[in-house]
Structure 1
Amino acid sequence: MTTSRFYGRIAGVGSTSGVRVVVGHWHDTPLGAFSDAMVATGSGHRVLLAPHEAAAGFIASTYRFDEVRIEPFAVAARDGAWRVRSPSLVLDLTVGPRTALGRLLRAVPRRLAGSPAFCTVTDPVARVVLDGVRTRGSAGGGRREFYGATDHRVVTAASGSFDGVDLGSLAPVDPAPRFGFSSTPARPSVTSVVTTVRG
């Protein structure tokens, strides 16, 4: 059985234009460090923005998209802000304080929090506490995926554009974009995660 682990952070935001964006900023993966975005338009069209073929192939085999774009993609992330840039997407996020959930997650040892066994145990709790969020499920092709969260911060503001059209201001991630078995929390946020794919 092959096991692949991805360490990084995921920012999930909605906008008043109806566009919802999930940005992955990965510092340690089998594909090297990279960033990507999953974008759902107001009409429900799902677009993957990935920096190279390897990332696009892995992500597209794991989640569902109507369109895949390979293009230069950069994220500059620090404690209080994210700056996301690609030919298709411009996104600036203001990141606020750690949430109560984040404080709880920080109390769990990282090695335990990222283990598939712990993700299996926490899945029923995640479903109740965070509507639409799952910590385990199908990754396609007979594979299984596990999300181990280690921190959670609120996003307090967002601005930018997709395909040159202004996104408007920050809004809940609603409806869920339905890229895969789990959704980003409806409340705009940044989550530190260990993602494990087995199969």
Structure 2
Amino acid sequence: MGGSGGGAARARRLRFDGWIAGTGTASGTRLVLGHWPHSPFGAFSDVMAEDADGHRLLLAPTRRTADFVRATYVFDAVRVVPVRVTVDGGVWTVAAGPLEWRFATGRRGPLGLALRAVPAALARRPAWSALTDRPAAALLDGVRTRGTAGGGRREWYGARDLRPLVAVSAAWEGGDLGAIAPVEPPVHFGFGSVPRTPSLVRVTSTVEQR
């Protein structure tokens, strides 16, 4: 489970272990799932959506998680709704208020295989995320692994796996969002984005707040 860690005397580090999935759609809506089996708030999932006009919406399961995520990233609107995620082999199904989203993952490429070799203890260290920040930006279309988040917070991402998404279906309030597409333009929730190529990343996120 995540919890507090080291750092300055007045700083608190919160750790989230799980997965981040990101995809674009033919309609221009881009979707980002955070699925966190281990977090300071217990197991939960949330969805960030940005439409073709740049409107950014957070779908979170409780007011507590919504307040935390909203204080860390930037949104134009927040909705507290049930967020359910089921995984059956390589197929993920997400139900979050107005959103119905299903995606299938493919085989790992060379980068995914390399990330699988990163020890979990190393991936959790902010120093490792700082070391991988520039390589990640070069290999993953500008993705950042460290940066300054909202409210004066700092954040680090330690990736441990990477799989492509090979099929996506998504509907918003019953309306089809269209076929799978690159995450383009990048989403603008915080200091970084997700890979341009639709992907599922196994990740440890560390957020430092004061």
C-alpha deviations, 1:167-190, integer Å up to 9, x for none? Answer: 111011110011110100000010
> Structure 1 residue 197 and structure 2 residue 207: aligned?
yes
Native 8 Å contact 1:132 1:183 kept in 2: yes
> Structure 1 residue 154 and structure 2 residue 164: aligned?
yes
Within 5 Å, which residues of 2 pair with 1:39-188? 39-188=49-198
For structure 1, the 5+ residue unaligned runs are none
For structure 2, the 5+ residue unaligned runs are 1-10
State the identity %. Answer: 49
| Counterpart in the other structure of 1:28 | 38
C-alpha deviations, 1:58-98, integer Å up to 9, x for none? Answer: 10001110010000110102331100012210001011111
AA aligned opposite 1:183:
S
Structure 2 CA distance for aligned equivalents of residues 78 and 24 of structure 1: 17
| Counterpart in the other structure of 1:6 | 16
Q: Indicate the SS of the match to 1:101.
A: helix
Native 8 Å contact 1:6 1:196 kept in 2: yes
Native 8 Å contact 1:93 1:155 kept in 2: yes
Normalised by the size of structure 2, how large is the TM-score?
0.92
Structure 2 CA distance for aligned equivalents of residues 138 and 165 of structure 1: 36
Report the more deviating stretch, 146-155 or 119-128: 119-128
When the two chains are superposed, the root-mean-square deviation of aligned CA atoms in Å is: 0.9
Normalised by the size of structure 1, how large is the TM-score?
0.97
How many residues align? The count is 199
Native 8 Å contact 1:79 1:95 kept in 2: no
Moved >3 Å (runs of 4+): none
Q: Indicate the SS of the match to 1:98.
A: coil
